[in-house]
Amino acid sequence: MTDPAPPDRADAPAGDWTVEALADPLPLARALIRCRSVTPADDGALDVLQGALVALGFRCRRMPFSRLGTPDVDNLYARRGEAGPHLCFAGHTDVVPPGGGWTRDPFAATVEDGVLYGRGVADMKGGIAAFVAACARHVAEGGPGPGSISLMITGDEEGPALNGTVRMVETLMAEGETIDDCLVGEPVNPEHMGEMVKVGRRGSLNAVLTVHGTQGHSAYPERADNPIPRLLEMLGAVTARPLDEGSAHFQPSTLALTSIDVGNPATNVIPASARAMFNIRFNDHHSGESLERHLREVCEAVQAGQPGRFELEVTMSGESFLTPPGRLSGLIQDAAEAVTGQRPALSTSGGTSDARFIKDMANVAEFGLVGRTIHRADECSTLSDLETLTDIYRRVLASYGAFREETPCRP
């Protein structure tokens, strides 16, 4: 059965929210999903969120950034309170394109049989709505304790990630803003709520290896220099043995070949060059610099004494990082265990997130909805999971003492 959108809340414009309405995560989640905020478009998502936060006493600041050759991106930083400790919630309102295969309108925010469907509901508009609802409940309950709380919300997480969180962090740090702890609302739970808290991420390195030779006729290989065998030898050398055996908080580093390409349509021509691409996900035994040095040494050893040459282009998505288990991860574990009955494992698995930028400014941990359907058709979250996440976030706020009620908040 389909649940129609509540007419008085789901389409509420910016500034038309109340604390009571925001205590329920569903209306805000639906309002955000209905914004077609495919990176780098915003389509009003940040306006909707800002209106909700203003209603809760946050002072909001839009932080648009530009960079030559990239789309302009709008971002939002909102803070309530002035004193420490300062807890920040980080997330993104941009989403990936819907793609095909949907059985429902990806931007209609349809509710059927206790499940909310829509692009970005799990990754991560539902998580944002749950955190705002937790704040609303905390405000309504007169949550005591000194401190501040903020939200750092970008519109550039699913895209190049050049004009979003990284620029916000750089700007806020330059201005002297201090954040003690940051909870990133990524959907890190694999199958059900309460499974996992991310306390770090592996680094990611992308490499393009091009081997150059001399083109020639395949009937006269002695007159050519075939780069393909040398490329295969280099790839064999870099994959011959594991990079490491893992560390205390990280699984072993991995190297995955993603492409081998000659671009040669002819069967009787030895090509002039051959190219391969690979990705390394690495732990705290390595840095991007040390891995690039290792790759060059291996390839140079293969190339030595042979004709031709090779080129290695390396780009970094982020270094590995770890926030040692402590106050923030413990608060999330305690809250999740109290609500779900299961204590989440601390993990560093998976890909990258904007936590790789925030770790330069604050202790960081990640916890959000179930990620099973993210980036897929019919992305969804159960309403019970939305409520569970809201309750977990509320308990984190209560334990952290994030609001300072005696500090007047500027509108």
Q: Is 212 annotated as a binding residue?
A: no
DSSP string across 98-152: --S--SS-TTS--EETTEEE-TTIIIIIHHHHHHHHHHHHHHHTT--SS-EEEEE
DSSP string across 227-281: HHHHHHHHHHHHTSS-S----SSSPPPEEEEEEEE-----SSEE-SEEEEEEEEE
pLDDT mean values, one per 10 residues, the chain (411 residues): 39 68 97 97 97 96 93 96 93 97 98 98 98 95 77 95 95 96 97 97 96 97 97 98 95 97 95 98 96 98 95 94 93 98 95 92 97 97 98 95 45 28
What is d(CA 139, CA 403) in angstroms, rounded to the nearest whole number?
Answer: 8
Instruction: Give the pLDDT confidence score for residue 356 in this predicted structure.
Output: 93
Least Cα distance to 178 among 394, 360, 322 occurs for 360
Judge whether 195 counts as a catalytic residue: no
Domain 203-317: which CATH number of 3.30.70.360, 3.40.50.720, 3.10.180.10, 3.30.70.1290: 3.30.70.360
Q: What is the pTM of this model?
A: 0.86
Instruction: Give the pLDDT confidence score for residue 114 in this predicted structure.
Output: 97
Location of each CATH 3.30.70.360 domain in the chain: 203-317
The CATH homologous superfamily of the domain defined by 2-201+320-400 = Zn peptidases (3.40.630.10)
* Both tokens assigned to 273: 């060059």
Beta-bridge partner residues of 165: none
Q: Is 47 annotated as a binding residue?
A: no
Judge whether 94 counts as a catalytic residue: yes
Catalytic residue among 24, 42, 74, 94: 94
Catalytic residue among 157, 225, 354, 366: 157
Location of each CATH 3.40.630.10 domain in the chain: 2-201+320-400
* Both tokens assigned to 230: 């040398």
Q: Is 186 annotated as a binding residue?
A: yes
Q: Is 158 annotated as a binding residue?
A: yes
